Amino acid sequence: MPGSPLLDDLRAALGDDAVLTDPDLLRMHERDEADLCASGTPLVVVRPRGTADVVEVVRVAGRYGVPVVPQGARTGLAGAANAVDGAVVVSMVAMDAVLEIDAVSRIAVVQPGVVNAALSAAVAKQGLWYPPDPGSWESSTIGGNVATNAGGMCCVKYGVTTEYVLGLEVVLASGEVLRTGRRTAKGVAGYDLTRLFVGSEGTLGVITEVTVALRPAPPESLTMVAVFPTTAAAGAAVAEIAARGLSPSLLELLDRTHLRAIEAYRPMGLRTDAQALLLAAADTGTRAADDLAGLAAVCAAAGADEVYTATDAVEAAALLQARRLAHPAMEKFAAETFPGGNGGLVIDDVAVPRAALAALLDGVARIAAECDVTIGVVGHAGDGNMHPNIVVDRADPTSLERGRRAFDEIMRLGLELGGTCTGEHGVGLLKRDWLAREIGPVGMRVHQAIKTALDPAGLLNPGKVL
């Protein structure tokens, strides 16, 4: 669309090389990794190089009444980064600088396009550590992690992204630049606007800079695996670990479907006859061996068939890599399950109180049988956050209907158990109806009031969350 006034204005503001309209590239930016979520074709993809560029993009889009959809690496699993027809997609990948690392204050200041693993590598050189580590950490960006309040395997001990975000720079729908938060260890001046934007999925503003807290690098972890005859037994072990006040630095669950998928994807000698596997780690230095022994004793008492500890760092890293391979392995499994590679995944993200984990796992098995679908369960057992992966045939409407019914039944079960519709993937397009059920009409009115106050024209990532 070479004669479009909007495109002309964007090119004048950002330069031709930052304003992209190639049809193949537009198709690449239509969606994130969430299966079965609606998406549209953007009018243009822009790649700003700094905050001033983002200001210009938002102002130009606002002038023409065109939606703005911020995107990072598009690794999300709820459709939060999906484009709408005719939108301006703001791809933040070119804003990828680590601006500052302050070892004394233990903070880093980064642009939103910095990849999680790149930040981890940069701060490690100074003996520091950025704990949030979503499964996509080698490709997902800090901006995307903040926008969805991403979690990861270390959450059980160290918490999720919001606990490490000290301050933000955000471009509002008006084109104004808002700075929130602080660099200090303490600070309670005014409303906590930083946390308001963390997890807002690009619906309230475009994040252009992030100040994060760092920790000293922990000692090398010791890693343990416990193999269980049932997923419920593994869930009972997790509840007992929490009841005893044990604090693993990692506590992950893989069910039999995932173990078989991972072994087929990349053979590494996993116990594919097991119904469930718990992967635990302790990073408490000289106490780690004793802490791991305590975890092993709980698992054995809960009925584990086998408990073993990694003999060295190489074996421990291999076990962690097996967990990180869960998603691509299940994608391959789903594709190969149905003819023509039409298999897809509907990925749930339900979190329940730890005491309810066994009930959730039993319930998912029941739902799989009732809906006649294959469901593999993986997740962060230590904080009750499970990811049931529902395998569907994209080419079969009946299969899709059964998969969606299973998804809804899992959501309903999670809320009935006192849980939440999303532990870390966000609401996006996938869970808008379930957010409304979870927070109720008053909560929805408050959400809408905030959205209207900050984005009165509704141009920022429309259709997401609300």
Look at strands 88-91 and 68-71 and give their pairing.
parallel
CB-CB contact of 378 with 251 (8 Å): no
Q: Residues near 209 by Cβ (< 8 Å), separated by ≥ 6?
A: 51, 99, 109, 110, 111, 112, 168, 169
| Alpha-carbon span 50 to 390, nearest angstrom | 40
Please state, in angstroms and rounded to a whole number, the distance separating the CA atoms of residues 114 and 91: 12
Both 198 and 135 in a single domain?
Answer: yes
Q: Total domain count for the chain?
A: 4
- Same domain for 323 and 452? no
Asked whether residue 26 is domain-assigned, the answer is: yes
Task: Centre a 10 Å sphere on the Cβ of residue 437 and count the other Cβ atoms it contains.
Answer: 13
Residue 108: give the domain boundaries.
Answer: 98-216
Judgement on whether residues 267 and 408 belong to the same structural domain of the protein? yes
Residues 251 and 389 placed together within one structural domain of the fold: yes
pLDDT, tens digit, 9 for 90 and up, residues 76-116: 999 999 999 999 999 999 999 999 999 999 999 999 999 99
Angle 416-392-419 from CA coordinates, rounded to 5° = 15
Residue 462 lies in a domain: no
Q: Residues 6 or more apart from 243 whose CB is under 8 A from it?
A: none
Evaluate whether 111 touches 209 at the Cβ level (below 8 Å).
yes
Q: Are 90 and 69 in contact (CB under 8 A)?
A: yes
Write a three-state SS string for the chain. Answer: CCCCHHHHHHHHHHCHHHEECCHHHHHHCCCCCCCCCCCCCCCEEECCCCHHHHHHHHHHHHHHCCCEEEECCCCCCCCCCCCCCCCEEEECCCCCCEEEEECCCCEEEECCCCEHHHHHHHHHCCCEECCCCCCCCCCCEHHHHHHHCCCCCCHHHHCCHHHHEEEEEEECCCCCEEEEECCCCCCCCCCCHHHHHCCCCCCCCEEEEEEEECEECCCCCEEEEEEECCHHHHHHHHHHHHHCCCCCCEEEEEEHHHHHHHHHHCCCCCCCCCCEEEEEEECCHHHHHHHHHHHHHHHHHCCCCEEEECCCHHHHHHHHHHHHCHHHHHHHHHHHHCHHHCEEEEECCEECCHHHHHHHHHHHHHHHHHHCCEEEEEEEHHHCEEEEEEEEECCCHHHHHHHHHHHHHHHHHHHHCCCECCCCCCCCCCCHHHHHHHHHHHHHHHHHHHHHHHCCCCCECCCCCC
Whether residue 339 is found in the same domain as residue 247 = yes
Question: Are both 105 and 55 inside the same structural domain?
Answer: no
CATH number at 51 reads 3.30.43.10
Radius of gyration, alpha carbons of the chain = 22
Cβ neighbours of 297 (radius 10 Å): 14
**Could you tell me the pTM of the whole model?**
0.94
361 and 228 part of one domain: yes
Alpha-helical segments (H) within 287-347: 288-301, 313-324, 326-337
- Within a domain: residue 163? yes
Long-range CB contacts (within 8 A, 24+) of 298-301: 298/237, 298/240, 298/241, 298/244, 298/246, 299/226, 299/228, 299/237, 300/226, 301/240
Residue 42 falls within a domain, yes or no?
Answer: yes
pLDDT, one tens digit per residue, over 376-399 is: 999 999 999 999 999 999 999 999
The identity of residue 452, as a single letter, is T
Q: How far apart are CA 287 and CA 204, in angstroms?
A: 45
Give me 224's structure tokens. 């343990």
| Domain co-membership, 230 together with 329 | yes
Instruction: Report the candidate in 202, 224, 234, 201 with the shortest Cα–Cα distance to residue 308.
Output: 224
Residue 304, phi then psi, degrees to nearest 5 = -60, 135
Pair (44, 69) in one structural domain: yes
450 and 394 housed in the same domain: no
Instruction: Please report, in tens digits, the pLDDT of each residue of the chain (466 residues total).
Output: 456 999 999 999 999 999 999 999 999 999 999 988 999 999 999 999 999 999 999 999 999 999 999 999 999 999 999 999 999 999 999 999 999 999 999 999 999 999 999 999 999 999 999 999 898 889 999 999 999 999 989 889 999 999 999 999 999 999 999 999 999 989 999 999 999 999 999 999 999 999 999 999 999 899 999 999 999 899 999 999 999 999 999 999 999 999 999 999 999 899 999 999 999 999 999 999 999 999 999 999 999 999 999 878 888 888 888 899 999 999 999 999 998 989 999 999 999 999 999 999 999 999 999 999 999 999 999 999 999 999 999 999 999 999 999 999 999 999 999 999 999 999 999 999 999 999 999 999 999 999 999 999 999 999 999 9
Distance CA 201, CA 146 (A): 8
Query: What is the DSSP-derived secondary structure letter of residue 307?
Result: E
Is 304 within a domain? Answer: yes
Q: For residue 423, tell me if it sits in a domain.
A: no
Is residue 300 assigned to a domain?
Answer: yes
In a domain, 452, yes or no: yes
Instruction: Determine contact, residues 158/87, Cβ cutoff 8 Å.
Output: no
Q: Is 140 helix (H, G, I), strand (E, B) or coil?
A: coil
Per-residue pLDDT reduced to its tens digit, 263-309: 999 998 999 999 999 999 999 999 999 999 999 999 999 999 999 99
Same domain, residue pair 310 and 365? yes
Do 85 and 150 reside in the same domain of the chain?
A: no
Examine the fold and report which residue of 164, 199, 216 is the final residue of a domain before the chain moves on: 216
Of 91, 122, 151, the one marking the end of a domain is 91
Last residue of a domain, one of 76, 91, 106: 91
User: What CATH number did the domain enclosing 389 receive?
Assistant: 3.40.462.40
